């Protein structure tokens, strides 16, 4: 039986360390898919432009309850 485990947390909270230890323990019995693999490099945009895109994407969505 398979399972999907999501690891979430703030910057520097140990997500990668925890995931690497899981991989060391379970070897080829697990597959790790890093969220960072989904980011586009955007090397075609100057740094300041990329910074604005990144900051905008981090803004929380606001909705009325």
The ranges assigned to domains in the chain are 15-58
Predicted confidence (pLDDT) at residue 15 exceeds the cutoff of 70 = yes
More confident residue, 40 or 65: 40
Q: What is the reported pLDDT for 38?
A: 60
Both tokens of 35, joined, read 């969220």
Cα 60 from chain centroid?
A: 16
Q: How much is the pLDDT for 17? A: 92
Residue 28 has pLDDT above 70, yes or no: yes
DSSP letters, 39-51, are ----TTS-HHHHH
Bigger pLDDT: 64 or 30?
Answer: 30
Query: H-helix or E-strand containing 16?
Result: helix 15-26
User: What is the tens place of the pLDDT at every residue in 33-43?
Assistant: 877 656 667 78
């Amino acid at each position: 039986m398979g399972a999907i485990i999501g690891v979430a947390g703030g910057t520097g909270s140990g997500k990668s360390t925890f995931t690497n230890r899981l991989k060391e323990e379970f070897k080829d019995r697990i597959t790790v898919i890093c969220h960072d693999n989904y980011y586009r490099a955007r090397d075609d945009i100057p740094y300041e432009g990329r910074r604005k895109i990144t900051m905008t994407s981090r803004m929380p969505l606001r909705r009325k309850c």
